[in-house]
Structure 1
Amino acid sequence: MSNKSFKRNGSKRDSGGFVLFTHDVIDSAAYRQLGYASRALLVDLARQYTGTNNGRIVACNKYLKPLGWNSHATVTKSLRELQDSGLLIQTRLGMRPNRAAWFALAWYQLDASQGLDMTNREFLNVKCDWKRKDIGAPLIPKTGISKSRIAPENGISSLQLAPINGVMQ
């Protein structure tokens, strides 16, 4: 069997873009404490990131409806949960009738552009809030999982089937 190396032309995966979630994000307490709808929404929002538009990610009905998001209440609750976790940062306030709110993914740098309500300095102040939520016990053990003992610590003793003072009459 030959040991061929893969070319850098994408032969290891299908063509097209991808969404990058680092292990720091996935293993964080901020991400692990999210509900399923919030995690799904985070993936759909991260799908918009092109490498140059962090801070201009939208969560409007026009974008989310074709992706299967039919409940406005679920989207609103999930957006609030994502912002509370620190993984999603609102960079522009939405207004009626036709100004969508913009968001940024907290594990990427902010791509400065026209129309943001937040400066780069303000973004850096809140960028790592999701990491600060990890203070405490780690969720994933670093040393692995050890075998637990089934038997008593002092060993197995012989069982007595009859009472100590003899058979009862």
Structure 2
Amino acid sequence: MLAIIYGSTTGNTEDAAKKIQDFFGADNAELFDVKDTGLAAVEYFDTLVFAIPTWDYGEVQSDWEDVWDEIDSTDFTDKTVAMVGMGDQFAYAEWFLDAMGMLHDKVVARGAKVIGYWPVDGYDFEASKALTEDKTAFVGLALDEDCQPELTEQRVKQWCEQIKAALSEKCSVDG
């Protein structure tokens, strides 16, 4: 069972979270709006998907902002985390998906194992805090409902298949 924890102002991130839940099925994935539940689900789930949009000039969305400091005191040891970032690669090209990158750094510092890195191919942006060190991938699924909404469905499906495979490997190794 995995927890999908999201924050959403316009509904785009919530829609992406629901697509992920649809892929895994409601029996295997539970949705949590960070605005309503905070980080409470972290304690009860070993596998987490965090969905976070970047606002304006690389800022954290307001619902995530409310729990931002709490992340620093949350233990992610033995937790597997995957991330989804929402952003606008043209209007905010210098800050594309920065919030996802900042969240990634926080949970890794607290012991999380991150899966679900996503290639940068097919995106056009100037800079991002969500890039891996070698800059060939994002630290999670990159979605742009403003400029590439027609690609969201396929990207979510491919990424979910990648996550499912990584979790299957983890279970066979742990099992």
TM-score (norm 2): 0.29
More strand by share: 2
TM-score (norm 1): 0.29
Larger Rg: 1
More helix by share: 2
